[in-house]
Structure 1
Amino acid sequence: MFEFELPDLGEGVAEGEVLAWHVAVGEAVHEDQTLAEVETDKAAVDVPSPVAGVVRELHAEVGDIVATGEVLVTIEEGADGPESTESAAPPENGAAVDDRVFAPPSVRRLARERGVDIATVEGTGPSGRITEADVAAAASEREDDEGPTPVVSKVDDDEREDDGPTSVISKVSDDGPDTESDGTEPAVKSAVRKVASTMTERRDRTLATPATRRLARELGVDIDAVPTDETRDGEPYVDAAAVRAVAERESDAGEITDEDVREVAERVVSELREAATETGVEATPVEATDADRREPYRGVRRTIGEQMARSRREVPHATHHDKVAVPGLVEARERLQPLAEERGVHLTYTPLVLQCVAAALDDHPILATQLDTEREEIVYRSDRDIGVATATDHGLVVPVVEDVDETGLLELAADVNQLVERARNRDIAREELQGGVFTVTNFGAIGGEYADPIINVPETAILGVGALRERPVAEDGEVVAKPTLTLSLAIDHRVVDGADAARFVDTLKSYLADPTRLLLE
């Protein structure tokens, strides 16, 4: 038997969530056939089979978190063919087996929450892509046939998934203060034990197998507060024995008094106040009604949020706004676009803007820097790898276009189009989202003019480009209408001064106004 372990899915990736299985137990697979779709904190990737054979066991369910190096699937190599398809149990949670389901993770999560088999949903989006509206329509149709989902069962499902406050409420009964009807401890005691556990040194991230995580939920143990000296890939790792040890210590801790409850409550309030003071944001629970919908804050969306929060927390932002008339840019694109179309390339303004930015960075290298806070050094980057912020169904993604200054316009346009398309389809490698020296975000595509963009640390600047439209411009004492662009340059004021920003924008404006100047570089 070949035990296939989850491979390294990219630099720094220690675990992934199983989004869908594309095979079932008893099914024959060939080498390089997609076994599963796994989501990391950057992208969703297909995991191919390294061998040919027959699937004997799936070691995780859809929604489970699997650590790198953990066994994902067992395959019997060299088996002749599939066993009876009638005996092959399909994977749970509506995973697609025979056909690829085209749906972003947010839509897949919605399908799981609404109890919809996503493999049966007909997509109405581009290329048959399944949207949230498709899932909602399928859920409504099912509910019309079967009746509404009982509220109690939804609470139980949430408890098993999140192990949140609903688990405390669901255990309350009239059997008395010491034990519940199912043998569990009373609600207040359970709550205090959980809160007391979180008062220990709690980590932001812990690696553990799905079985260990389930055990922790069953025992009411906060897995991020379990003491451990073991690591995997530099991350804390907790096994089942450590979880049981914590649970046993808590069960032997004795009766919890009113004083214990009061002490824990005071510590919780104190820490919340300290956190609010440090971040400037008060932690407030969000009340929701039955008509509202919740979805997990994790994966790409959480990574984006943490990166933006870190940037705002650590970086003193300053934003320089300006406007430039660009009739030369418009004329250049109009003249070159038919020629590009003849060669099968759709020419937008983006590659032209990127080439202008790269030339301006050469003139003002302080904008092409990264701040290494660990070594306390400013790194002047020699390359011109520029990130292009792209809005997708699963959040803002920044694919990096390499060697902008050394690439011809048509090749650059094709590279940009391909990267953006693959980013939107979640078919992009992690390394293609890393290593940029500067970022350009085009909020003008949806009509915006000026903004205050957040820097993609460790970069020290980001350029926001507003809508291209005719605006009044003073020329030779008269006001005329000309195509203009609005610019918003955010800088890290620890590295870049306001004067540097102004000079960079002035140079960039000269290239945008007349892109033929690039021929002199």
Structure 2
Amino acid sequence: VCIHRVRSCSSIRSIKSKYVCVFDKSALKCSHQQRLFRTSPVSCGQIVQFKLSDIGEGITEVTVKEWYIKEGDSVSQFDSICEVQSDKASVTITSRYDGVIRKLHYSIDDIAFVGKPLVDIEIDASKGVAPEEDVVETPPMSHEEHTHQEIKGHKTLATPAVRRLAMENNIKLSEVVGTGKDNRILKEDILNYLAKQTGAILPPSPKAEIVPPLQKTEAVPAAPKDKARRIPVPVSRPIAFSGKDKTEPVTGFQKAMVKTMSAALKIPHFGYSDEIDLTQLVQLREGLKPLAEIRGVKLSFMPFFIKAASLGLLQYPILNASLDENCQNVTYKASHNIGVAMDTEQGLIVPNVKNVQVCSVFDIAVELNRLQSLGSAGQLGTSDLTGGTFTLSNIGTIGGTYAKPVILPPEVAIGALGKIQVLPRFNGKGEVFKAQIMNVSWSADHRIIDGATMARFSNLWKSYLENPASMLLDLK
């Protein structure tokens, strides 16, 4: 007779004999069978290594930006575990299991690799979970992997994070139209559905401008008000400086900028600049702003710039194309996915407005509001940041008139918009009048775009903005 004592601790199981008495071959056979018998844990759970799965776009490593849990915390399915940032976007990783966090494999700002363990989760095997062999050997479901839900005979595709967002807002996924691949429901689809139901649109988060403190100088008598400038008083005493150099790794969006700009150096840039009289457009926007505010949308000049660019691209499609690496083929893009450079706390990002050629000025304004809101919160998705075909950089909101924009591969053209200035100009009668002037700087890939094409496109774009009513003739 063999009496066994089972000792189970976490993922380690051992079967230890207390008494072993072998009388004959049959008893020995019985004892052998008992040693192969696999028991279930009684009081302790199983340890699952939750691995970082592929999040697409060929990304192999990410930076851990924030942990939402710590060791010892209990988590449920779809609970947020951490936020990671690739060189393209930030992604929130959610849990697949119900259990207790036993180990975090990375610290903040560490580099996590796809396919490697992210956290260890102790799950309760008594709740009908898969056996240990299945749990350990099978990689956890990817954050971006499709999950299925049977609804009236068909499957709805959505990620766990999207399902949780829908559940928190009491939204039935069967009522939402998916815009992703294979009709997959995206986070943006849920937000757009909420906006249509409630009529509320998230306004862009204002970014506080950092004002440098005034330098303390020696007391100087106040200058008279009629003096245009104040003569600075030099500081006589030397300044003691004890700072030290600091070295930081290149990560996140900055790392993406290094890759993109290194590739851009291979492109021969052609520059072209001009000035635009926006006097009529300024008046038109002032009249439309109250109507847009009633609809809950902030109307800037950018939607007009983007729509005018799309109308110009219809006449000059070579500017909405791409050139292959061997410079043997040119691909003309059917969609006008126009990118807009944004300055955020995470760095420079360039989300794009999809299919501008079929959007109205108001539609573009709504999408820009959404992108600005997500960009300010650092929540832009990969779909928002990829697929661009043409780019406009509104550097004038910060300052400056002319710039030398750098093309974003695989695009072939980009425009930089300066600030709007009130300047004197002459009309057709030789009379001086007050004009709203903006400067534009274009860069084009000189391998496939010549100067004449760039100039003609710029002239057409300029005509739309200087006479906004002319855009009505070409709107579709």
Q: Secondary structure at the match of 2:291?
A: helix
Report the counterpart of residue 469 of structure 2 in structure 1: 516
Q: For 2:280 and 2:126, how far apart are their aligned partners in 1?
A: 66
Cα separation, partners in 2 of 1:326 and 1:387, compared to 1, 3 Å: same
Give how far 1:20 is off: 2.3
Question: Which deviates the most, 40-49 or 433-442?
Answer: 40-49
Amino acid at match of 1:70: K
Q: State the one-letter code of the partner of 2:274.
A: D
Q: 4+ residue runs of structure 1 moved beyond 6 angstroms?
A: 126-129
Question: 1:377-420: CA deviations, max 9, x gaps?
Answer: 11111111100011112221000110112122222212112112
User: 3-state DSSP class of the match of 1:503?
Assistant: helix
1:57 partnered with 2:9: no
2:352: which partner in 1? 400
Aligned match of 1:341: 293
Q: Give the match for residue 493 of structure 1.
A: 446
The aligned amino acid for 2:468 is P
**Cα offset, 1:444, TM superposition:** 0.8
Q: Distance in 2 between matches of 1:419 and 1:36?
A: 23
Contact 1:390 1:396 (8 Å CA) reproduced: yes
1:67 and 2:19 are equivalent in the alignment: no
Quick one: which of 389, 401, 413 aligns to 2:365?
A: 413
Alignment of 1:143-158 (within 5 A): none
Deviation at residue 61 of structure 1 after TM alignment: 2.5
Unaligned stretches of 5+ in structure 1? 82-125, 134-287
Q: Map 1:238-387 to 2 at 5 A.
A: 290-311=243-264, 313-374=265-326, 376-387=328-339
User: In structure 2, what residue type is equivalent to 1:387?
Assistant: G
Please name the residue that 2:56 is paired with. Answer: 10
Deviations 1:195-241 (CA, angstroms, capped at 9, x unpaired)? xxxxxxxxxxxxxxxxxxxxxxxxxxxxxxxxxxxxxxxxxxxxxxx
Contact persistence 1:54–1:79 (CA under 8 A): no
**1:200-239 to 2 correspondences below 5 Å:** none
Matches of 1:369 and 1:68, distance apart in 2: 33
Q: Radius of gyration: which is bigger?
A: 2
State the one-letter code of the partner of 1:51.
Y
| Residues 1:447 and 2:395 aligned together | no
Matches for 1:32-47 after TM superposition, within 5 Å: 32-47=78-93
Percent sequence identity over matched residues? Answer: 36
Aligned to 1:25: 71
* Residues 1:462 and 2:414 are matched in the alignment: yes
Q: Given the alignment, which residue of 454, 459, 463 partners 1:506? A: 459
Deviation of 1:79 after TM superposition, in Å, equals 7.8
Q: Distance in 1 between matches of 2:380 and 2:422?
A: 36
CA contact (8 A) 1:322 1:486 kept: yes
SS of aligned partner of 2:341? strand
Q: Secondary structure of the residue that 1:405 maps to in structure 2? A: helix
What is the number of residues matched between the two proteins?
320
Instruction: Tell me, in whole angstroms, the C-alpha distance in 1 between the residues paired with 2:318 and 2:396.
Output: 26
In structure 2, relative to structure 1, the CA distance for the partners of 1:370 and 1:429 (3 Å cut) is same
Distance 1:469 1:375, change over 3 A: closer
Q: Secondary structure at 1:306's aligned position in 2?
A: helix
**Per-residue displacement from partner, 1:34-56 (whole Å, max 9, x unpaired)?**
11121211233221112222212
Is the Cα contact below 8 Å between 1:304 and 1:395 reproduced in 2? no
What amino acid is aligned across from residue 37 of structure 1 in structure 2? E
Hey, what's the Cα distance between the residues in 1 that align with 2:76 and 2:366?
33
Whether the aligned pair in 1 keeps the contact of 2:340 and 2:351 (CA below 8 Å) is yes
Write the distance in 1 (CA, Å) between the matches of 2:125 and 2:379. Answer: 31
Q: TM-score, normalised by structure 1?
A: 0.58
Following superposition, the deviation at residue 31 of structure 1 comes to 1.7
469, 478, 483: which one aligns with 2:431: 478
Cα offset, 1:77, TM superposition: 3.0
Contact 1:441 1:463 in 2 (8 A): yes
Q: CA deviation at 1:303?
A: 1.7
CA contact (8 A) 1:35 1:49 kept: yes
Task: Report the residue type matching 1:34 in the other structure.
Answer: S
Q: Is the 8 A contact 2:339 2:352 kept in 1?
A: yes
**Deviation string, structure 1 residues 484-508 (Cα, Å, up to 9, x no partner):** 2211011110011000010000000
Q: What do the CA deviations read for 1:219-276 (whole angstroms, capped 9, x no partner)?
A: xxxxxxxxxxxxxxxxxxxxxxxxxxxxxxxxxxxxxxxxxxxxxxxxxxxxxxxxxx
Contact 2:207 2:376 in 1 (8 A): no
For the Cα contact (< 8 Å) 2:63–2:251, is it kept in 1? no
Q: Distance in 2 between matches of 1:57 and 1:297?
A: 27
| Aligned position for 1:108 | none
Could you tell me how far 1:64 is from its partner in structure 2? Answer: 2.4
Corresponding letter in the other structure for 1:66: A
Q: 1:437 to 1:414 in 2, by over 3 A?
A: same
Cα contact 1:53–1:80 (8 A) shared by 2 = no
| Alpha carbons 2:321, 2:411 under 8 Å: kept | yes
2:235 aligned partner: none
Q: Aligned partners of 1:409, 1:330: CA distance in 2, in Å? A: 15
Q: Aligned to 2:471, what secondary structure does the other structure show?
A: helix
Inter-partner Cα distance in structure 2 for 1:36 and 1:462: 36
How far, CA to CA, are the matches of 2:64 and 2:242 in structure 1?
29
Three-state SS of the structure 2 residue aligned to 1:507 is helix
**Corresponding position: 1:427 with 2:379:** yes
What residue ranges of structure 2 are gaps of 5+ in the alignment? 1-46, 128-204, 213-240
Quick one: which amino acid aligns to residue 292 of structure 1? D
Residue 277 of structure 2 aligns with an amino acid whose one-letter code is A
Q: Partners of 2:112 and 2:258 in 1: how far apart?
A: 22
